[in-house]
Amino acid sequence: MSVDKAKIQEELSSYLHKRFLAKDVTLVPMATFSDFGIDSMTVVELVMYIEERFGIEIPADQLTGHNLKSLDSLVSCAMANKAK
């Protein structure tokens, strides 16, 4: 499966809207998850979704505040681990 940053971002946004966000909420990729009321447990769920859906393993040492602060940073971290 060919996966790019836009594809992961689109699917995560859709996932968040289906499970956690109102449909009229515009998820800004650079805004922090906390700006949208998304807590750390939900972010962990997103990491697991990335690993299951796209087969991209994100090592535990990369589950940092910096990598998990926004949709953009999480997707960038996933893409950095895509080929590993």
Which residue pairs, CB below 8 angstroms and at least 24 apart, start in 40-46? 40/68, 42/16, 43/68, 43/74, 46/12, 46/15, 46/16, 46/74
On the question of pLDDT at 2 being above 80, the answer is: no
The answer to whether residue 1 scores a pLDDT higher than 80 is no
> Strand, helix or coil at 32?
strand
Q: How far apart are CA 13 and CA 29, in angstroms?
A: 9
Note the pTM of the prediction, 2 decimals: 0.92
Over residues 12-20, mean pLDDT: 94
Tell me the per-residue pLDDT of 22-66, one tens digit each, with 9 for 90 and over. Answer: 989 999 999 999 999 999 999 999 999 999 999 999 999 999 999
Does domain 5-19+27-80 fall under CATH 1.25.40.340? My reply is no
Q: Where are the domains of the chain?
A: 5-19+27-80
CB within 8 A of 57, min separation 6: which ones? 51, 81, 84
